[in-house]
Chains A and B, each alone.
Chain A
């Protein structure tokens, strides 16, 4: 009998995508536990009971100071060891939107120096200077990340005000490409990476939409795959070729969760 994937969905005050993130894993028969960060700080050993740690989207602590800043500060100062061990021991980590912002500030992504707490890139104000909700086309740049597998290039929704990737310096920027850390890029209608608004909705450098670390077991991305789980989530589901497909058919974001669950079953 294979292992049942077990997912810890971590929330803080202001996290708001935790129910649908848990549901996405449950669709692929994972067991999930949603914990307030207060509970995990009180009992850090609970982390080791899970295979996957998910940082959902939202506005942890209102994104005050900067998106994900207070959440990351709290985790870095009080949970750094447990987090480091979790990844070293083969755990998977997924950060979506606000979760990605927190992973970047924690230094877990892109993790070039391999030292938790060293921030190498940042996610900051969109070039449009405003929050926007829209669907984007992504290019799959690397398949090294276990969440990606063989998924086709997806279209996914995103919704954020601070999603523009910037790098500490040119060397970090080069190493993101050289070390194969870039998983998703914003793409134009031809599927090619672009800096043009709105295909690249926030002006991210090198059109970066998602990153992985050196292990390939950590993924952070700005778009929301958990909002594209079902065919009916597509803005164009009522058109051919989708209209008339079985309503239970899955949407373009489902593969990320399925791949993670499959990987746990095969490897843990």
Chain B
């Protein structure tokens, strides 16, 4: 069913009568009888399945149907094979070398061309899978790989000239530039020897943009102004100047940490996983979420994840197939894969995915963005790590394989149409259950106090994890001890592999036996691979020979700081013509069904957002469960009503007009969202995640400088600290000879304490006869608005966030919500007032009547702008009239007005004084909103 719909989308006609099979190839002791037992007791559901047992030499084709088999390439994670092995052990069967695979049977008249296109475009991804069309033999079980003989490799760096240095970096996929390679060469000239391959790899991983944030922490020349370390001088500076007492740990650990309740802290981190998701959306997004969950597990002595967020940017879902650049997947295929990847990882881990958004723009076609975030809860006495010389290096979780080699350096390179082939080693599939087991065992060991330090194996693998944990002392690792998935890895591959689901711990020797038992009880492999020491060096041995000896200070401080040039981008900007009154209603419908605004229920409902039983404000609210919440509210401790709100802000189109205002808009939006559901602005912290085009291009870097400056100004004005962040600054992709950049995309994520979940507020209108109060003023600026885009312009000027009034608006709103004065509250963002009002009305099944002449304005604001402008710091409130006086007293001189009321009707009416501009049926507004973003075309309509 789904395949037929997807085939039609890809322009492939597929007839009736295809079916699917799943299969297993394995070696088993005990002949046919044992195979039959395995089938009956495990693999075959007697209610649903029939079974065929055959040897791999036999022809798998049973009749004249065409057969396409898809099997993972050797070495790619296959979680099913591991579960099968677990069950066969329970059955007392001796089984090994299991591979699981799928087969698709097509009618005999299917042409070879259709088979081939379906296989490559829909059924399989050549980065991880092999396709077999009409195979004459079955799929053989896995073949064990041979061991490679040990040979220590030195790289002749000392004698290399500039061209040779560049070639060595490019050939090794090291992503080090000439200046960095020269610094390494000089270090080894002083050391009197050439580096080994593993030393060069370790430096490349540790010095990667991904790990070191070279651009943000480097020197920038911006139109004559010299900026020394953007991160320190803007984002972190605000945090340090604000010095808010609720910040427990900022910018040092794997996540930011803030106060929650008497016993617990909250951790918060958002990561990007853009390039892997471009090549293998399912695996890239899944491991993106898996990675940020490990960041939570690696914060302090291990926080327990309690909520996840995800934000995606894709190309337009309706992009005509002919406009797809060579080497790119269609945005719909990427979106399906990404959503499935997050779904399968998060749901299996049992972490509710509760907040996020999806933004579409044609510039994301070749370089989609995938942000995954995680909130964790951490006991107060488990915040500090103290790695001490003599502690053992323990690695636990999944085994190490050749997967994910060069992920850190790959993310620092430009994508091109052959990225899939050359970098497929950087792509991997996660195994969520492995990570769930690691989490269960790790938290048990944490509670028993069995280790002193922990971090996750992320980018750079063991090289980064051990290198970071031992930075202040030193460490020695015996690489032969690292458990491997298969033979055939070199010592360097073992060291830099980014195989998923691994954590590194520092274990005091006296706890060695106890901690190994805790891991064994949860069936998690844990191995001591070395010791932390006081040498000040990172050393490793393999086969009894020293293969690495790097001083920690050169590794962590030896990176040369470079100056990059930044310029102010020139822009040609225009406003659209005024929108005629007669077109307002159709514009509202057009906006509600625009993919950026339309309901994301197709995405959100695939996520388990209620596991852990803490969900208080769900992603969708109202009697029909289809009103889009501004933010999620979660009460993470069973039996307590203390809660937090989780929201985000993202305004890439404002960035096309004014990157400074874009950053402020994103901050303002994230804060509006959390305060709208009951978050306390005085107990709110934020994260920055920059995804940018190549910052070697001066105008991209200029945009970044502007956004960073706004981050400082915004954080100071709202008194809201940044507590962590991450950047991905090389989101360019090559189409032919042209290098294209994504729009500057700053995601701001907000975490806000909700002191009592029972005081949370939702956005659905509650009852007729209430007043509708608009807070905040509307100006004439249309820059970055959807109204301008839909009329073919960018808008001349971005709306300005008023940093003197905005923080007061949020503070007042919080008091009004806490005092129970607000029946419903919704933030005005994409699509402006009319979209927000429509969403509130159909969400609550309550009519609304609005008079646009009452809207508080600054400057000359026409009808279209009143309805659809996207000025920041505005919220629409539903207020019981008995509470109006109290609310107005709180608001005082702040811009606000009663612009209408809720009515007992099934429509939304918009008036301009006495004249009705339009009257729209709630059912049609609801249909426009719910029906637009639907990626299962044949299956359903509506929610």
A28 interface contact, C-beta 8 A = no
Kindly list chain B residues whose C-beta atoms are within 8 Å of the C-beta of A166: 47-48
Find chain B residues with CB under 8 A from A57 CB.
611
A265 to chain B: which residues have CB within 8 Å? none
CB atoms of A59 and B625 under 8 A apart: no
Within 8 Å of chain A (Cβ to Cβ): is B333? no
Chain A residues, Cβ within 8 Å of B923: none
Scan A85-114; emit 1 where CB is below 8 A from any B CB, else 0: 000000000000000000001000000000
Q: At the interface with chain B, which of A138-146, A180-188, A213-221, A231-239?
A: A231-239
CA distance A16 to B345 in the complex (A): 13
**A76 contacts chain B at the CB level, 8 A cutoff:** yes
Residue from B42, B756, B757, B936 with most neighbouring chain A CB atoms (10 Å): B42
Give 1 or 0 for each of B76-87: 1 = CB within 8 Å of chain A CB. 000110111011
Against B, the Cβ 8 Å flags (1 = close, 0 = not) of A148-177 are 000000000101000000111000000000
A103 CB → nearest B CB, Å: 14
Please give the distance in Å from A19's CB to the nearest CB on chain B: 7
Stretch at the interface among A1-9, A44-52, A67-75: A67-75
In the bound complex, what is the Cα–Cα distance between A130 and B110 (angstroms)?
27
Give the interface segment out of B368-376, B683-691, B759-767, B903-911.
B759-767
Q: Is A13's CB under 8 angstroms from B48's CB?
A: no
- Give Cα distance in the complex from A129 to B756, angstroms: 38
Least distance between B840 CB and chain A CB atoms (Å)? 13
Residues of A with C-beta under 8 A to B42: 65, 69-70, 73
Give residues 336-354 of B contacting A (CB, 8 Å). Answer: 343, 347-350
Separation in Å of the A176 CB from the closest CB of chain B?
13
User: Which of chain B's residues have a CB closer than 8 A to the CB of A128?
Assistant: 936, 939-940
Confirm or deny: A135 has a beta carbon within 8 angstroms of a beta carbon on chain B: yes
Q: Return A99 CB to nearest CB of chain B, in Å.
A: 14
The verdict on A191 contacting chain B, using a C-beta distance below 8 Å, is: no
- A16-B349 CB under 8 A given contacts A38-B523, A121-B47, A240-B766: yes
> B408-416, B601-609, B710-718, B782-790: which one contacts chain A?
B601-609
Q: Are B43 and A239 in contact (CB under 8 A)?
A: no
Within 8 Å by CB of B436, from A16, A198, A236, A237, lies A16
Q: Does B41 contact A (CB under 8 A)?
A: yes
Dominant secondary structure of chain A at its interface with chain B: mixed
Q: Quick one: closest A residue to B41, CB to CB? A: A73
Given A13-B522, A122-B48; A133-B433 close (CB under 8 Å): no
Closest to B607 in A: A133
User: Is B116 an interface residue, CB under 8 A from the partner?
Assistant: no
Is the C-beta of A61 less than 8 angstroms from some C-beta in chain B? yes
Tell me the complex Cα distance, A39–B522, Å. Answer: 10
**A17, A57, A70 pick with most chain B CB within 10 angstroms:** A70
Which B residue's beta carbon lies closest to that of A245? Answer: B758
* Cβ contacts B606-627/A at 8 Å (1 or 0 each): 1111111101111011110100
Q: With a 10 A CB-CB cut-off, give which of B48, B433, B607, B764 has the most chain A CB atoms.
A: B433
Contacts of A157 in B (CB 8 A): 610
Q: Is the CB of B608 within 8 A of A38?
A: no
In the complex, residue of chain A having the shortest beta-carbon distance to the beta carbon of B820: A244
Across the interface, name the chain A residue whose C-beta is closest to B939.
A128
Contact (A73, B91) CB under 8 Å given A62-B433, A128-B940, A168-B47:
yes
The verdict on B641 contacting chain A, using a C-beta distance below 8 Å, is yes
Q: Is the CB of A13 within 8 A of B757?
A: no
Give the Cβ gap from B138 to chain A, nearest Cβ, in Å. 19
Distance (whole angstroms) from the CB of B4 to the closest CB of chain A: 12
- In angstroms, Cα B22 to Cα A69, docked, is 15
| Complex CA–CA separation, A13 to B2 (angstroms) | 31
- Chain B CB within 8 A of A77 CB: yes
Contact (A227, B348) CB under 8 Å given A13-B522, A131-B606: no
> Contact between A133 and B47 (Cβ–Cβ < 8 Å)?
no
Q: Do the beta carbons of A236 and B758 come within 8 Å of each other?
A: no
A63 to B344, CA, bound (A): 11
B2 touches A58 (CB 8 A): no
Q: Across the interface, do B621 and A77 meet the contact criterion of CB distance under 8 Å? A: no
With a cutoff of 8 Å between Cβ atoms, the chain A residues found around residue B431 in the complex are 62
Q: Among B523, B612, B940, point to the contact of A13 (Cβ < 8 A).
A: B523
Q: Label chain B's interface by main secondary structure.
A: loop
Cross-interface CB contact of A20 among B100, B433, B638, cutoff 8 Å = B638
Bound CA–CA A167/B47 (angstroms): 7
A117 smallest CB distance to B (angstroms): 9
Whether B350 pairs with A17 at a CB distance below 8 angstroms is: yes
B936 to chain A, nearest CB (A): 7
B757 touches A69 (CB 8 A): no
| A36 / chain B contacts, CB cutoff of 8 Å | 521-522
A residues 29-48 touching B (CB-CB < 8 Å): 36, 38-39
Q: Decide yes or no whether A224 CB sits under 8 A from chain B.
A: yes
On whether the beta carbons of B47 and A232 are closer than 8 Å, the reply is no
Question: Smallest distance from the beta carbon of B639 to chain A beta carbons, Å?
Answer: 7
Which residues of chain B have C-beta atoms less than 8 A from A13's C-beta? 433, 436-437, 440, 522-523
* A119-B46 contact given A16-B349, A129-B1, CB 8 Å threshold: yes
The reply to whether A122 and B47 form a contact with Cβ atoms under 8 Å apart is yes
Does the CB pair A227–B522 fall under 8 Å? Answer: no
- Contact among B611, B620, B844 for A16, CB-based, below 8 A: B611
Chain B residues closer than 8 Å to A227, beta-carbon distance = 610-611, 613, 615
Q: Which of B1, B87, B764 has the most CB of A within 10 A?
A: B87
B609:A19 contact, CB within 8 angstroms? no
Determine the residue in chain B with the shortest Cβ distance to A66: B45
B941 shortest CB reach to chain A, Å: 10
* Min CB gap B892→A, angstroms: 27
Which of chain A's residues has its CB closest to B610's CB?
A227
Q: Residue A64 at the B interface, CB < 8 A?
A: yes
**Min C-beta distance of B297 to chain A, whole Å:** 15
Q: Across the interface, name the chain A residue whose C-beta is closest to B89.
A: A74
| B-chain residues with CB within 8 Å of residue A14 when the two chains form the complex | 348, 432-433, 436-437
> Whole-angstrom distance between the alpha carbons of A232 and B759 in the complex?
10
Q: Which residues of A contact B562 (CB under 8 A)?
A: none
Measured between alpha carbons, how far is A236 from B43 in the docked complex, in Å?
42
Instruction: State whether A23 touches B613 (Cβ < 8 A).
Output: yes
Per the bound structure, the CA–CA distance linking A65 and B433 in Å amounts to 14
B563 at the interface (CB under 8 A from A): no
Q: Which of B610, B635, B639 contacts A133 (CB 8 A)?
A: B610
Also in contact, A247 and B523, with CB within 8 A (given A159-B610, A168-B46, A239-B766):
no
Whole-angstrom distance between the Cβ of B50 and the nearest chain A Cβ:
13
Known pairs A197-B940, A227-B613, A239-B764; A62 contacts B621 (CB<8 A): no
Taking the complex as formed, is B111 at the interface, i.e. its CB lies under 8 A from any CB of chain A? no
- How far does the Cβ of A81 sit from chain B's closest Cβ, in whole Å? 15
Instruction: Give the residues in chain B near A73, CB-CB below 8 Å.
Output: 41-42, 87, 90-91
Give the Cβ gap from B290 to chain A, nearest Cβ, in Å: 13
A65–B610 CB distance below 8 A: no
Which residues of the partner chain A approach B610 to less than 8 Å between Cβ atoms?
A: 133, 157, 159, 224, 227, 233
A61–B45 CB distance below 8 A: no
Contact check, B608 vs A133: say whether CB atoms are below 8 A apart: yes
Residues 57-99 of chain B, each 1 if its beta carbon lies under 8 Å from chain A, else 0 = 0000000000000000000000110111011001110000000
B523, chain A: closest CB distance, angstroms: 6
CB distance from B439 to the nearest CB of A (A): 10
Q: Quick check: A129 and B613 within 8 Å, CB to CB?
A: no
Query: Which residues of A have CB within 8 Å of B625?
Result: 134-135, 235-236
20 pairs, A vs B, C-beta closer than 8 Å: A16-B611, A17-B611, A61-B86, A62-B431, A64-B79, A66-B45, A70-B42, A73-B41, A73-B42, A74-B86, A74-B87, A76-B41, A77-B41, A124-B48, A128-B939, A227-B610, A236-B621, A236-B623, A236-B625, A239-B766
Given contacts A69-B87, A129-B939, 19 further A-B contacts (CB under 8 A): A13-B433, A17-B350, A23-B638, A58-B350, A61-B83, A61-B86, A64-B79, A74-B86, A77-B41, A122-B48, A132-B605, A133-B610, A159-B610, A167-B47, A226-B613, A233-B615, A233-B616, A235-B618, A237-B616
Closest 10 CB pairs of A and B: A16-B350, A64-B83, A247-B758, A122-B47, A20-B613, A64-B80, A62-B433, A61-B83, A74-B90, A238-B762
